[in-house]
Structure 1
Amino acid sequence: MNGDWLIRGRDGRLGVYLTARDAVHVRAEYAPGGAWTPARKVGGDQILLPPPALGQGDDRYTHLVSWRPTVPGENGLVHSTHFRPRLAALDWVPIGHPDKKGARTGPPAVAVDARGRAHVFVRGQGGGVGMVAQKEKGGWDPWRDLGGRDVRDELTAVTGESGLVELFAAVPGGILHWRQEEAGAVPVVEEAVEAQARAGTLYALATSADATTLFYTDEAGDLCAWRPGGKPVTVLPSAGPGPVTAVRCLLDGHDCTVLAQRSASGRVAFAAYPTEHESAGAWWTESGPRLPSDAVVSLALDARERVVAATYAPSDGTLRLARRKDEPGLALEAWREV
């Protein structure tokens, strides 16, 4: 899944979106903190090509985007909206292709603006980025060419606290940053920075009213943070080879950023530091059992604003959760299978 796959719905229930063969499945809490529903398909019987993308707006509606086969040798993107984790999602709706038609070009990314409109991004056949956005009163605008060159497959999209949509993409030797200048505007390239980002490690998080922080792992194996307008800084050595996930929360009354990553040992590693103050230092603490090599990690806040971590391994189909204890620090309750 490209994006956070552990989410909190507007009713306070947690839900997870899981990729299973040619479909996306969802599970959800029956009640906040309670038992979980069995898995069910999202959007009906539609053959999908992983990985799908997921984004959530301030209204806490979940938007999902995925590729699907159309005619032999060609694919198109489809979109679904899920209003609440325990309700049925809308059927998948075709939204086209960045080059009008052709084969799958790369994994999509999606962000939802302050008005609840999904913005879908994907690399085009020419190596740039294409975008299509929802209209405020239904339907979709035409596809737009956002430019860029030699963009890698991975994209990460995020909505800042301002409600404006931003996009980050890795290119050889650097990272590009697009941002809307105003609500409803087409995002434009605002900045590029020299960086050696490893493929598949970009993750963006809104960290203040004026800034978004991009996390990535560099070729030296360090986890770095970059806020456009500044220079990348090293946070700490990466715990493992995969991407990091992050969430903001209050820890002992302080605004902190919590990081999680599957470590080289196979367990989940956690770190925390005061938001946007990387110089304060951070260190990893491992938790839980050793996980299969395909396990992924996601973080969210539950209905009580507690940090919740989830892991899922497609190879064994096991979903595990751990919640922060009601005590100082970042101590977690025991991991449990759900």
Structure 2
Amino acid sequence: MNGDWLIRGRDGRLGAYTPTPGGEAVHCRAERRPGGAWLPLRKVGGEQRLLPGLAVGRGADGYAHLVAWRPTPGDEAGLVHSTHFRPHLAPLDWLPIGHPNKKGERTGTPAVAVDAEGRAHLFVRNRGKGVQTTNQKERGGWNGWHDLKGSRVDEELVAVTGESGRVEVYATNPDGILRWYQREPGARPVAADPLPVRVAPGSLSALPTSKEYTTLFFADREGTLHAWRPGGDPIALIAAAGPGPVAVLRCALDGHDCTVLAQRSSSGRVAFAAYPTEQEAAGLWWTESGPRLPADSRVALAEDAAGRVVAASVTPDGELRLTRQKDEPGLALAAWQVV
């Protein structure tokens, strides 16, 4: 999965989007009411068979945009999109977008971000290992594909919409981190200067942390987690709790603007850390919680309708667990529950 797969909808209900174990479908689960019990899972988009690699993005309107690959004739693949307006309602059917090279096999895990006007922007690695993009038109349908260039790009990209409403996308290659950004809302993303660092592929996460900046989190090849904002130098934070990207959330803790990180640790449990937003010098440390999870489990963070931090984990066989912040100082969490 790529993106924020635990999402608070416009009506305040939380919804979780998880692929089936073989990746051939996507399931959605939603709260019956905000903070309440969860409804049974349902399949997203009808009977369309999918390939592994789900991307999820949330708009300011609370709508979820899902993008995945589907098989097409001749052992090829194409991208499809679905919109989910309310977590407890059925998502729309999967609709075809096409292929970044017009046709061919699956080329990489897609990434999706939703701009201030509610239009989804899709990014995916192309056959030549550059980055290709397309976005929704104002009145339905999708614009043509555009090549953002780049070379030797790793499979997983990260797309994010800043507080300004402008979309950014990040990628890694053997030379470091690549970034494309919109100079103004609705404009085509342009390339920024690359960041020459030794980055572990598949370790990127991005979080809007102010009106001016998005903070990118990544692990280096030695396993140290860093935070970076364009125009500055990467800041070493802490040893990564485990492999893969950290889940990130900006929220209020005890009245302070904080950034919360969560990651499956090397022990298999979920590790949490928090620090004042954009004040990395304050320091942070990991605290583990919950049961041990199998390898390749994913972790997500969200804020519920009452402003409480919610953490979720999903195992490769689809088991979903949740914990919620207790009414106590700091980041005290209740016992994990299977949904």
Question: How far is 1:84 from its partner?
Answer: 0.7
Question: How far is 1:334 from its partner?
Answer: 1.0
Partner Cα separation in structure 2 for residue 6 and residue 221 of structure 1: 26
1:332 alignment partner in structure 2: 333
For 1:101-120, what per-residue CA distance to the aligned partner results, in whole angstroms no more than 9, with x for missing partners? 11110000000000000000
1:52 alignment partner in structure 2: 54
SS in structure 2 opposite 1:170? strand
Question: How far is 1:276 from its partner?
Answer: 0.8
1:94 alignment partner in structure 2: 96
- Alignment partner of 2:306 out of 304, 307, 311: 304
Give the aligned residue type for 2:148.
L
1:319 alignment partner in structure 2: 320
Partner Cα separation in structure 1 for residue 193 and residue 288 of structure 2: 35
Runs (4+) of structure 1 moved beyond 3 Å?
none
SS in structure 2 opposite 1:279? helix
> 1:301 touches 1:308 (CA, 8 Å); kept in 2?
yes
Question: How far is 1:242 from its partner?
Answer: 2.4
Give the TM-score, by structure 2 length: 0.98
For 1:210-235, what per-residue CA distance to the aligned partner results, in whole angstroms no more than 9, with x for missing partners? 10011111111101111111111111
The answer to which of 156-165 and 175-184 deviates more is 175-184
- Alignment partner of 2:71 out of 39, 64, 69: 69
SS in structure 2 opposite 1:193? coil
SS in structure 2 opposite 1:131? strand
Question: How far is 1:70 from its partner?
Answer: 1.0
Partner Cα separation in structure 2 for residue 83 and residue 77 of structure 1: 20
Give the TM-score, by structure 1 length: 0.98
> 1:269 touches 1:284 (CA, 8 Å); kept in 2?
yes
Partner Cα separation in structure 2 for residue 175 and residue 251 of structure 1: 31
Partner Cα separation in structure 1 for residue 193 and residue 231 of structure 2: 8
> 1:177 touches 1:228 (CA, 8 Å); kept in 2?
no
1:242 alignment partner in structure 2: 244
For 1:109-161, what per-residue CA distance to the aligned partner results, in whole angstroms no more than 9, with x for missing partners? 00000000000000011111000100111111111111111111110000000
> 1:191 touches 1:228 (CA, 8 Å); kept in 2?
no
Give the aligned residue type for 1:260.
A
Question: How far is 1:73 from its partner?
Answer: 2.4
Partner Cα separation in structure 2 for residue 107 and residue 293 of structure 1: 19
For the aligned residue pairs, the C-alpha RMSD in angstroms reads 0.8
Question: How far is 1:295 from its partner?
Answer: 1.4
1:156 aligns with 2:161: no
SS in structure 2 opposite 1:191? coil
Question: How far is 1:319 from its partner?
Answer: 1.1
Partner Cα separation in structure 2 for residue 90 and residue 7 of structure 1: 17
Partner Cα separation in structure 2 for residue 169 and residue 242 of structure 1: 14
SS in structure 2 opposite 1:269? strand
> 1:222 touches 1:236 (CA, 8 Å); kept in 2?
yes
Partner Cα separation in structure 1 for residue 169 and residue 288 of structure 2: 31
**Alignment map for 1:268-307 (pairs within 5 Å):** 268-307=270-309
For 1:226-269, what per-residue CA distance to the aligned partner results, in whole angstroms no more than 9, with x for missing partners? 11111111111111122211000001111000000000100000
2:213 alignment partner in structure 1: 211
SS in structure 1 opposite 2:66? strand
Question: How far is 1:299 from its partner?
Answer: 0.2
1:257 alignment partner in structure 2: 259
2:11 alignment partner in structure 1: 11
Q: Which runs of 5+ in 2 are unaligned?
A: none
- Alignment partner of 1:34 out of 33, 36, 45: 36
Q: Which runs of 5+ in 1 are unaligned?
A: none
Partner Cα separation in structure 1 for residue 302 and residue 216 of structure 2: 18
SS in structure 1 opposite 2:281? helix
The answer to which of 135-144 and 262-271 deviates more is 135-144
1:179 aligns with 2:171: no
Partner Cα separation in structure 2 for residue 88 and residue 176 of structure 1: 37
